[in-house]
Chains A and B, each alone.
Chain A
C-alpha cells in the first residue's frame, strides 16, 4: 500500500493567533447604545499567508474527483471540466448584480434563456425554470406547483397524498411532506416499481407519483409507460426526479416517458462541481399542465431582446432570491455546448457501459440483488461479509486506504448492507480496473485490518456515536468543554 493522505497537525484557525477580545468596534453615528456591539467579533487576527496556508493544508486532507475515483452512487461524480470554471470567473459573469436594469444584463439573460431551451429539448418538457438552488429544492418547488394545480381545480382537499417507490431518494418524501402532502411508499418487485401494488394504492386521493428512472437500484423502470397511464388515469400527476438522468440522454426523456414535471441536478448530469456539498443547481421542467405554475420571473425573448416576465398569474411566485445559480448555469451551458447532440448521447452510452462493466467485475465479489442489465449505477449487497464479522462500512473504510473513494453505502435501504456504485463516463477502463483491483485487495483483507481501516488518511475511523451523543458543534462548545487542542 503506497497511498498516504496528507496528515497535517494543523490547529483550528482560532489557535493560530490571539483571540482575546479586541477593542470595541468603532461607533457608527446614530446607532443606539442598545444595538452597538461591545467588543469585536471573537475571531483571530491573521495575516493573509496564515489563512492561505491553513486552508491549503485542510484541502490536502480532502478527496475530490480530481484526487481519485469517486464512485458514489446517485451522485454522478464526473469530471468537472476546467474550461467551465474559467468561463464562470469572467468579469462579464461575476461582476453583474441581479438588480441591474434588464438592458445591461442581456448576456446573462440570453445564456439562461438558451440553457432553458436546451434543457427543454433534453427533457422533452416545454417550459423550464432555472430558479431552484439544488435538486431537493426543485422537488419541493414542483410539489408546490402540484399543490397549486389541484387547488385551481378544486381538488386539493381530496388529493392529499403523494406516492413514491420504496427505492426513492430521501429528499422525495421530505420535499412532498414540506409541501403539505402525506407520503405513501409503493413496494418494489425485484428492484422495480410493483405495478400491481401501484394500481392498488393509487386513488382519487393521489396528487402525484414521484419516480426516478433509472431508479436508485440502477434499473430502468421498463413499465414506465404503464406507470404513466396508471397515474394519469387516476387524475394524478407524474413527477420525474432527474438525479439519474445521466443514463438516458438521447435514448429517452421525461416527456416521452409521460412525466408532467421534472427536476434536474445540473451538478450531476451537467457536471457543475459539487463544491464539497454544494452549491448545487436545480432545474424545473414542466409540460402544459404545470408550466403556468413555474416560479417567476420567467425569461422571455421579444425580438432580439430578453426580458424578465413577472406576468404569470398562476405562478407559485419565488422560491429563492434572484434567478437561480447563474454561475453554475453558465458552466452547464458551456458543458452542453461542448458536447452537442452526439456528445451527450455518448456520455450516457459510456456511463452505462462503464457501469455494466464494473458491475460484472465487482459482481464476482459480492451478490447483485437484481437483474444483470443496469444503467449508470448498480447495487451490491455486503450481507455475506457478516459471516466474517465484517460490515459494508468496514469495506468502505478499507477502500479509502487504497486511495479511492468508497461507493454510497446503506442506500438503497431495501438491500441489506448495500453498496451503490456509479462510475461515470469520465472514468477510463484503466481507472475501473484499478478500482476493481483495489476492491479485491480490500475485500480479501483480514477482518482485523478491515475493522481497523482506514489507516492512510488524515484521521483514523471517526467515532460517530460520540459525535451525536456529546454534540460539540462549534468552537464555543469546545471552549465550554475545555477540550484539548487538536494534536494527539
Chain B
C-alpha cells in the first residue's frame, strides 16, 4: 500500500484515544446495518513500481501519433507544446490549489487567470472573458443559454457543417429550457452558409441566437460570416473561433460577434485522448451579468495595492442557486495557465508565423491530394488554414483511412455522426497539418492516398 496516509507509530491509536474510541468501527455507527456493504471487489493494492509497470503495460497498447505521419485535425489539434508550458503547469503551487476563494492566499492563480482573460479579450475584440469553461463544445452550449437570456425566441441556428459532437452537445444544452437547434444549409461548392435561409428564419421572429464557426467544421473559412450581424440585428451572434487562426484573422468582435467561444487545447495542452481540454468564452461588457462561469477582477487591497479577486459572483451557483447563469463550479484554470503561457512563449508574431506556415503546408497537401483521381481536395472552394476537407469518390472514408494507416499515415477523421440511423453523409475526411508534418510526411500522404484510392477502385 502507498505511503500516502500518515502512519507514525501510535498515531491512529492516539487519535482514537482522544475520542474515547477503541476502533474506527465506532466512527460509523450512524450508517444503518442494512445500508452496509461487504467487499467492493476492487482487488489488492500495489506498490508504486507495480503500478507504474501496469499502467505502462496498458499504455504500450496505444500507438502514439509520433509512430505515424499524423494528419489528425479538428478542434483537438496535435500541435507542439513548448517544454516551458508543462514546466509551469507542473508547479504544484498552481496544480494542487483549489478555486481561489481566499483571494489573498491565491494571487498567483488569480493574476494568471486575469492575464488569460485579457489575452482572450485581445484576440476576440470583445470586452470580457471568463476564467474558462470545460471545452469548446460546452462553451458553445453555455453561449446558447447566454443568447436565450439576451433575446426571446425558441430556435438557435447553427451550420449544418458543425461537427456532430458539438451539435449533439448543443442539442442537450437546448433541451432543458425546451429550445430547438436548427441547421443552416450550406452551399455545396463553397460550404458557405445560406444567408437567405438565415434572413427568412430571423424574419420569423423566433430565433434567439446564431452560431457560426470560423474556420467551419470543414476547416474552411466562410466569407459570408461577416455579413451575418447585419441580418441578425439584435439577435446575438456567437462565433466559434480557433485561437491560432485569430493570429491572422480579423477579431470577430470587429464584425459583430456578441460572443466568441472556442477550444483552447491547441495552445500548449496535449491531446491526451481528448481531455482535459479548454473552453474559451468572451462577450461584451454590457452583457457581463448574463455570462457563465468564474470571472476575475482587479481591485485593490487594504493598503491600496492592486489585487485580484473572483468577482460578479452573484451570477453564480453558490449564491444564486437555481437562478444562476450556469452551474459552473470547477472550470479549467490550469489549462488557462497553459494557454496564456503558450501564447506568451510563442508570442504574437510567432503565432502568426506558425499559422502562416501551417497554411502553406495545408495548401501543398491539398493540391497534391487534389491531383489524385477519385480524391477531391480541398472539397470546398473556399480558403482554409490548418485543416481542410477531402472527399473520396470510391469506397468509404473509413476504408480509405484504413489503407492509409497500413502505410503509417493517420490521414484524418471521417466527418460522420457514428450513431446508427444518423443521417447519411458523404465520404468526407477532415485533414489537418501540424509542426510535425514535414515535406516528407506530406509527400508520403499524397503517395499513400494515390495507392489507397487505387486499391479501393480495384476491389470495387
The answer to whether residues A275 and B42 also contact, given A26-B356, A251-B28, A325-B276 and a CB cut-off of 8 A, is no
Most chain B C-beta atoms within 10 Å of own C-beta, residue among A37, A83, A257: A37
Given contacts A110-B58, A317-B169, 6 further A-B contacts (CB under 8 A): A25-B248, A58-B109, A62-B107, A99-B72, A276-B99, A463-B309
CB of A344 within 8 A of CB of B29, answer: no
Can you list 7 pairs linking A and B with CB atoms under 8 Å apart? A67-B92, A90-B55, A96-B272, A101-B402, A136-B329, A276-B97, A346-B5
Give chain A interface residues in 208-230, CB to chain B under 8 Å: 219-220, 222, 224-225
Closest to A77 in B: B98
Closest to B133 in A: A133
CB of A70 within 8 A of CB of B98, answer: yes
CB of A28 within 8 A of CB of B64, answer: no
CB of A322 within 8 A of CB of B277, answer: yes
CB of A180 within 8 A of CB of B134, answer: no
Q: Identify the stretch in A195-203, A380-388, A426-434 within 8 Å (CB) of chain B at 4 or more residues.
A: A426-434
Out of B16, B123, B172, name the residue touching A41 (CB < 8 Å). B123
The digit string for A152-164, where 1 denotes a CB below 8 A from any CB of B, is 0000000000000
Closest to B417 in A: A310
Q: How far is the CB of B210 from chain A (nearest CB, A)?
A: 18
CB of B348 within 8 A of CB of A43, answer: yes
CB of A337 within 8 A of CB of B274, answer: no
- Interface membership of A368, Cβ < 8 A: no
CB of A428 within 8 A of CB of B8, answer: yes
Most chain B C-beta atoms within 10 Å of own C-beta, residue among A65, A118, A319, A427: A319
CA distance A111 to B59 in the complex (A): 8
The answer to whether residues A488 and B303 also contact, given A22-B349, A28-B355, A224-B32 and a CB cut-off of 8 A, is yes
CA distance A257 to B33 in the complex (A): 11
Residues of B within 8 A of A441 (CB): none
Closest to B327 in A: A174
- Interface membership of B69, Cβ < 8 A: no
Residues of B within 8 A of A1 (CB): none
Give chain A interface residues in 456-470, CB to chain B under 8 Å: 457-464, 466-468
Residues of B within 8 A of A75 (CB): 98
Task: List the 10 closest A-B pairs by CB distance, nearest first.
Answer: A322-B274, A340-B45, A62-B108, A92-B59, A98-B274, A275-B334, A30-B383, A64-B96, A428-B6, A107-B61
- Interface membership of B352, Cβ < 8 A: yes
Out of A29, A55, A63, A334, name the residue touching B106 (CB < 8 Å). A63
CB of B297 within 8 A of CB of A137, answer: no
CA distance A124 to B384 in the complex (A): 50
The answer to whether residues A180 and B177 also contact, given A96-B273, A340-B45, A464-B309 and a CB cut-off of 8 A, is yes
Closest to A404 in B: B105
- Interface membership of B302, Cβ < 8 A: yes
CA distance A92 to B52 in the complex (A): 13
Residues of A within 8 A of B1 (CB): 338-340, 342-343, 346
Residues of A within 8 A of B137 (CB): 318, 320-321
Kindly state the interface size class of chain B when it binds its partner.
35 or more
- Interface membership of B257, Cβ < 8 A: no
Out of B72, B319, B326, name the residue touching A178 (CB < 8 Å). B326
The answer to whether residues A97 and B302 also contact, given A81-B2, A105-B273, A353-B24 and a CB cut-off of 8 A, is no
Give chain B interface residues in 317-360, CB to chain A under 8 Å: 317-324, 326-335, 337, 340-341, 343-345, 347-349, 351-353, 355-356, 359
CB of A171 within 8 A of CB of B117, answer: no
- Interface membership of B136, Cβ < 8 A: yes
- Interface membership of B132, Cβ < 8 A: yes
CB of A349 within 8 A of CB of B24, answer: yes
- Interface membership of A187, Cβ < 8 A: no
- Interface membership of B75, Cβ < 8 A: yes
Closest to B275 in A: A325
Q: How far is the CB of B455 from chain A (nearest CB, A)?
A: 17
Give chain A interface residues in 239-259, CB to chain B under 8 Å: 248-253, 256-257
- Interface membership of A13, Cβ < 8 A: yes
CA distance A59 to B112 in the complex (A): 9
CA distance A430 to B41 in the complex (A): 33
CB of B42 within 8 A of CB of A118, answer: yes
Q: How far is the CB of A77 from chain B (nearest CB, A)?
A: 6
CB of A25 within 8 A of CB of B352, answer: yes
Residues of B within 8 A of A147 (CB): 175-176
CB of A277 within 8 A of CB of B263, answer: no
CB of A473 within 8 A of CB of B288, answer: yes
Residues of B within 8 A of A344 (CB): 40, 42
The digit string for B65-109, where 1 denotes a CB below 8 A from any CB of A, is 110001010111010001010111011111111111111111111
CB of A321 within 8 A of CB of B271, answer: no
CB of A107 within 8 A of CB of B72, answer: no
CB of A174 within 8 A of CB of B324, answer: yes
CB of A471 within 8 A of CB of B288, answer: yes
- Interface membership of A290, Cβ < 8 A: no
The answer to whether residues A350 and B4 also contact, given A97-B271, A321-B263 and a CB cut-off of 8 A, is no
- Interface membership of B182, Cβ < 8 A: no
Q: How far is the CB of A413 from chain B (nearest CB, A)?
A: 9
- Interface membership of A45, Cβ < 8 A: yes
CA distance A182 to B39 in the complex (A): 39
Closest to B222 in A: A35
CB of A42 within 8 A of CB of B122, answer: yes
- Interface membership of A287, Cβ < 8 A: no
CB of B176 within 8 A of CB of A400, answer: no
Out of A107, A267, A431, A477, name the residue touching B330 (CB < 8 Å). A267
Out of B105, B132, B251, B322, name the residue touching A405 (CB < 8 Å). B105
Residues of A within 8 A of B384 (CB): 30
CB of A171 within 8 A of CB of B62, answer: no
Residues of A within 8 A of B28 (CB): 220, 251, 352
- Interface membership of A144, Cβ < 8 A: yes
Give chain A interface residues in 70-121, CB to chain B under 8 Å: 70, 72, 75, 77, 79-81, 83, 85-101, 103-108, 110-111, 114, 118, 121
